[in-house]
Amino acid sequence: MRGVVSLALIALVAAIVAAAGGLVYFDGKLHRVNALSFAGRIGPTPGTNWLVVGTDSRDGLTPAERRKLSTGPDEGGARTDTMMLISTPTSGKTAIISIPRDLYVEIPNGYGHHKINAAFNMGGAQLLVRTVESISGVHIDHYAEIGFGGFAHVVDAVGGIHVCLKEPLRDPKAGLRLKAGCQDINGRQALGLVRSRDFPNADLQRVVNQRKVFAALMAKATSPGVLLNPFRLLPFANGIVDALTVDTDDRSWNLLALAWSLRGSPTMATVPTGGPMWSQDGDSLAIGSNTEQFFARLARGLAVDPGTSNDGGAIG
């Protein structure tokens, strides 16, 4: 019996050492950008907050891959259509919070008022973080961004993801054709789902779908079928480090903690707004008192109240 216990302890230690070594190895392969080190940042706020950004980058995609993924040509510049705050409060469930790209805000450094997604085009990750912090009062602790091709490859690396849809979805421009109901989808289909705006409520539905896909990916990545299967785990880990760009101070174990915090059923929400408005950038969304109250809760480290979400009418 003592020998069995000894062998079990040796195996456990070996597994821990292997896991630690893997984290160090993959940490050294992560792409990094200085997103969070700049003067004038707001001080730390309670809880832990990630800013996760999906960009329209086609870097690394061949023309054939662009056709397969229905991404269209590379139009130059840097744009983001996906901005999510992943907020872990001091007590309560982690929340995946969509920031509408059309939210009309003041962009720091003298850029004036524009839709919030313009900040990324004007000044990259750092200006986007500065803008989010300035309008929310929430300190961003971690940053990650992923492009079109990288996202599709990561989904495929875990063997696809499981999503449930209330209605069939069709959008030829995004390469999207999905039936209603629960189903497994691959990377190309997942990319079409997060990109499509062909809905009566356009961006409102799209951000719901983006959160649905992100949560499904995190659930699959932390499932025994991936964690205990090296033929899934290693391609997923390699896909993540190839696809992601993180802040210079972020580490692979921070990403692991993020995925772990999203196990189960995280709260889903969209930042509420003051409603539609017309701006120099076209159709936009105003900041309202409800927007300010929503961010104020996050800045105090409080859990998101699902009743304050701006998801009314979404169909996914």
* pLDDT tens, position by position, 219-260: 888 888 887 787 888 888 888 888 889 999 999 888 888 888
Report residue 170's pLDDT band, with 50, 70 and 90 as the boundaries: confident
Q: Is 85 helix (H, G, I), strand (E, B) or coil?
A: strand
Q: How far is CA 180 from the centre of its chain?
A: 24
Give a yes or no: residue 15 inside a domain.
Answer: no
Is the distance from CB of 171 to CB of 196 less than 8 angstroms?
Answer: yes
pTM to 2 decimals?
0.82
Distances (CA, A) of 111 to 33, 40, 57, 137, 290: 22, 16, 23, 19, 25
The range of the structural domain enclosing residue 298 comes to: 32-308
Instruction: Identify the pLDDT of residue 72.
Output: 46
> Is the confidence at residue 69, as pLDDT, over 50?
no
Mean pLDDT in residue range 35-52: 93
Would you state the structure tokens that stand for residue 92, as one six-digit string? 């309560």
- Higher per-residue pLDDT: 225 or 9: 225
Total domain count, the chain: 1
Q: For residue range 190-201, what is the model confidence (pLDDT) as tens digits?
A: 888 887 776 656
Q: For residue range 103-152, what is the model confidence (pLDDT) as tens digits?
A: 999 999 889 999 999 999 999 999 999 999 999 999 999 999 987 668 88
Determine the Cα–Cα distance for residues 189 and 178; give it in Å rounded to an integer.
Answer: 8
DSSP category for residue 174: G
Give a yes or no: residue 314 inside a domain.
Answer: no
Give a yes or no: residue 8 inside a domain.
Answer: no
Determine the Cα–Cα distance for residues 13 and 5; give it in Å rounded to an integer.
Answer: 12
Give a yes or no: residue 9 inside a domain.
Answer: no
Mean pLDDT, rounded, of the chain: 81
Percent over 70 (pLDDT), the chain: 79
- Higher per-residue pLDDT: 202 or 159: 159
Give a yes or no: residue 10 inside a domain.
Answer: no
Domain CATH number, residue 49:
3.40.630.190
Is the distance from CB of 221 to CB of 158 less than 8 angstroms?
Answer: yes
Give a yes or no: residue 229 inside a domain.
Answer: yes
Question: What is the identity of the amino acid at 213?
Answer: V
270 has which bridge partners? Answer: 98
**291: CB partners within 8 A, 6+ apart:** 103, 271, 272, 273, 274
